[in-house]
Amino acid sequence: MTDALLDVRGLKKYFETSHGLLHAVDDVSFSIERGKTLGLVGESGCGKSTTGRAILRLIEPTAGEVLFEGVDVVKLGSGAMRKMRKNMQIIFQDPFSSLDPRKTINQIIAEPIKENRIITDKVALEKRVLELMETVGLAERLINTYPHELDGGRRQRIGIARALAMEPKFIICDEPVSALDVSIQAQILNLLKQLQERLGLTYIFITHDLSVVNHFSDDIAVMYLGQIVEKASAEEHFNNPLHPYTKALLSAIPIPDLRNKRQRITLKGEITSPVNLPDACRFAKRCNECVEQCTKGIPPLKEISKGHFVACFKY
Amino acid sequence: MTIKNDDYIFDIEGLNVRYETEDGTVYAVNGLDLKLGYKKTLGLVGETGAGKTTTALAMLRLVPSPPGVVDCKKLEICGQDIRALSAQKLEEVRGKDISMIFQDPMTALNPVFRVVDQIAESLEIHEHLSRSDAQEKAKELLEMVGISRSRANEFAHQFSGGMKQRVVIAIALACNPKLIIADEPTTALDVTIQAQVLDLMKDLKEKHDTSMIMITHDLGIVAEVCDEVAVMYTGRVVEQGTLEDIFERTMHPYTEGLFNSLPNIADRQAMLKPIRGLMPDPTEQPKGCPFASRCDYASPECESEHPVLRYVSDTHKVACSAYDRQPDFLLERRKTR
């Protein structure tokens, strides 16, 4: 791949629990080109958020490399990492708990700028905060309000303004619209898209909502129990899904259209525990197309056609 | 044509619910009329704060008072006037004739009772079964919702989210209710589990001839499970009709706005068209149409005239005065359909 901004190789994050080793992220590799969006999709517990956090080293990865413009982020010392984080920001899922309730919008947005000593002059700082507020569509009069006075959509805009304050190249959006109503969700998605075009941002978009991710991403990686099971362009992903899990996931979305009814594949059972995993395809237990081979080893992620990777013995 | 009351599983007229708080009065439901035929599923759709859950609570007389104040011209469910019931009679109706499935299965179950006892409880109270019979029936119910009876003696924390919601459904179905009110039953679940639970609810509903209210914000779920739809905004029904009426013959600008806000799976490139602005403050009662300030079609009259929910066909009702002023008024969505 040519101009890759971020290249993740063999990323692993294990947690020790009293029952054994929990494989939250297990050998995940992908790269994202500058200015593009990678959608990271999966159900609760599949490791998508942990992957995002491990990339930013908000939690330390167990193993693997995270190359940001060729620099391995994992190996950086704390001072260098601090500088690096200016380039890599995150927007959290819950705009209700991710903002300090005792700070005004002004303080919340100014904090990272002050902390990194980018602007020290008070007047210039306020000007910058107002500029950021305008960028994300927050009215100037709200500058001295507190988060509890605002609705979810506006709060999420604060989270975005704060992420943009460092003029990052790359933002991880961790379920940024899951807590919002559809009409507000659409406003925030449009805003994120406009910002990407204007500022040339690169996104990882983490979500469980496949219709949102389809709308938003260039490439999509589907995760199941800590591993990527399929990766393809968004178009390929929706028109030609290959992995049995991806097919089931896509068919499970209820479609708000009476004319486009699809046959639903209902999966049996539920996601298994990520603790002490056997050496087998992790989806085998729920898979409708499972054969003997599936219980005997982990299928590798193979390129089936250009840019389309699948981890399934069928292919 | 005279319509007899017993043609409907429930019939609500002029329901008003307000919450009187220190910071002012919140008008949660405002003059709501709603009724549903037997064995039908009604989708009650709207965004946070539209009054969906409050409507459901008011139907069971569960609105906490204070701060809640409920008044209603008519509230009949299963042919009974719910307003007139004594506390004791009300206990008999709840859980027996009408049962409710709550949004969050994580908090709807009691953590210190075995799941089998939680299901058996309503059987002992309503069906007057002996303890052992109730336990046996509870185990059958667990099997019906796809949980092995060997797990009957476990506690809620030993179950996953999807299984907890199955237990909640088993409790709701225990006494063969005539009406189930499901308040966002799958919102807390993953899509593949949501698909399982929706399939289960559809099957069980058909098997037991139950009527259902499905409260949801997800129009996709509505398309899959409902026969009729009522779209709520600021405590009012703004449009109501059959599934086809709402999806194919959309008439209210707010309903159109909801559809336009959804990412379209078939067309990736289309920009989303969100509804601008925010829902008005529920402590204020707007003079005109409550949606006027966010509506792309609004005219000056909309700010002052209160639209009336009126029939536009035998099944389809809409509260938008544009149709009174302009008989050939058509939403953008309709032009492409």
Q: Give the sign of the dihedral formed by CA B143, CA B148, CA B152, CA B156.
A: negative
Is there a contact between A187 and B274 if contact means CB atoms under 8 Å apart? Answer: yes
pLDDT for res A227 = 94
Q: Does B264 touch chain A (CB under 8 A)?
A: yes
Cβ-Cβ contacts under 8 Å, B43 against chain A: none
Mean pLDDT of A185-195: 91
The bridge status of strand B68-71 relative to strand B8-21 is antiparallel
- Which of the four pLDDT bands, split at 50, 70 and 90, describes residue B195? confident
Among A155, A183, A243, the strongest candidate for a mutation testing the B interface, having the largest count of B CBs within 10 A, is A183
Mean pLDDT of B69-88: 90
Query: Which pLDDT tens digit goes with each residue over A200-232?
Result: 999 999 998 888 888 889 999 999 999 999 999
More confident site: B4 or A114: A114
Among B260, B262, B291, the strongest candidate for a mutation testing the A interface, having the largest count of A CBs within 10 A, is B262
d(C-alpha A298, C-alpha B205), whole Å: 41
Task: Provide the number of structural domains found in chain A.
Answer: 1
For residue A64, pLDDT beyond 70: yes
Cβ-Cβ contacts under 8 Å, A185 against chain B: 261, 274
Cβ-Cβ contacts under 8 Å, A283 against chain B: none
Mean pLDDT of A290-298: 88
Q: Give the sign of the dihedral formed by CA A265, CA A267, CA A271, CA A277.
A: negative
Weakest mean pLDDT among A79-93, A189-203, B216-230, B257-271: B257-271
For residue B1, pLDDT beyond 70: no
Which residues, numbered 222 to 251 in chain B, qualify as contacts with chain A under a Cβ-Cβ cut-off of 8 Å? 222-224, 243-244, 247-248
Q: Residues of chain B with pLDDT > 90: what percent?
A: 47
For residue A144, pLDDT beyond 70: yes
Cα B254–B283–A149 angle (5° rounding)? 90
Task: For residue A64, give its domain range.
Answer: 1-33+44-77+212-253+264-315
Give domain limits for chain B: 228-337
In a domain, A269, yes or no: yes
Mean pLDDT of B133-152: 90
d(C-alpha A88, C-alpha A68), whole Å: 9
Cβ-Cβ contacts under 8 Å, A41 against chain B: none
Rounded to an integer, what is the distance from CA A142 to the centroid of its chain?
29
Is there a contact between B223 and A255 if contact means CB atoms under 8 Å apart? Answer: yes
Cβ-Cβ contacts under 8 Å, A256 against chain B: 218-220, 222-223, 247, 259, 262
Is there a contact between A189 and B195 if contact means CB atoms under 8 Å apart? Answer: no
In a domain, A270, yes or no: yes
In a domain, A143, yes or no: no
pLDDT for res B3 = 44
pLDDT for res A1 = 46
For residue B6, pLDDT beyond 60: no
CB pairs under 8 A between A and B: 114
Is there a contact between A260 and B219 if contact means CB atoms under 8 Å apart? Answer: no
pLDDT for res B12 = 93
Weakest mean pLDDT among A115-119, B155-159, B275-279: B275-279
Nearest CA-CA distance, residue A81 and chain B, Å: 35
- Which of the four pLDDT bands, split at 50, 70 and 90, describes residue B54? very high
Residue pair B232/B29 in contact by the 8 Å Cβ criterion: no
- On the CB side of B220, CA atoms within 13 Å amount to 24
For residue B2, pLDDT beyond 70: no
The two structure tokens encoding residue B26 = 């919140």
Cα A155–A158–A160 angle (5° rounding)? 115
Query: Which pLDDT tens digit goes with each residue over B198-217?
Result: 888 888 888 888 999 999 98
Mean pLDDT of A96-119: 91
Query: Which pLDDT tens digit goes with each residue over B227-273?
Result: 999 999 999 999 999 999 999 999 999 999 999 888 876 666 667 88
Query: Which pLDDT tens digit goes with each residue over B36-50?
Result: 999 999 999 988 888
Type of residue at A106: N
The residue of chain B nearest to residue A246, with distances taken between CA atoms, is: B192
pLDDT for res A255 = 84
Q: Does B213 touch chain A (CB under 8 A)?
A: no
Is there a contact between B274 and A193 if contact means CB atoms under 8 Å apart? Answer: no
Residue pair B231/B239 in contact by the 8 Å Cβ criterion: yes
Mean pLDDT of A62-77: 94
pLDDT for res A233 = 94
Nearest CA-CA distance, residue A268 and chain B, Å: 8
In a domain, A12, yes or no: yes
Residues 6+ apart with CB under 8 A from A224: A42, A43, A46, A245, A271, A282, A283
pLDDT for res B102 = 84
Q: Does B281 touch chain A (CB under 8 A)?
A: no
For residue B76, pLDDT beyond 80: yes
Is there a contact between B220 and A253 if contact means CB atoms under 8 Å apart? Answer: yes
ipTM greater than cut 0.95: no
More confident site: A269 or A143: A143
In a domain, A7, yes or no: yes
Facing residue for A256 by CB, picked from B163, B194, B223: B223
Chain A positions touching chain B (beta carbons under 8 Å): 43-44, 151, 153, 181-187, 189-190, 193, 208, 210-212, 214-216, 234-235, 238, 248-249, 251-258, 260, 264, 266-267, 270-271
pLDDT for res A2 = 58
For residue A23, pLDDT beyond 70: yes
Query: Domain containing A65 — which CATH number?
Result: 3.40.50.300
- Which of the four pLDDT bands, split at 50, 70 and 90, describes residue A181? confident
Cβ-Cβ contacts under 8 Å, A271 against chain B: 190
Mean pLDDT of B49-62: 91
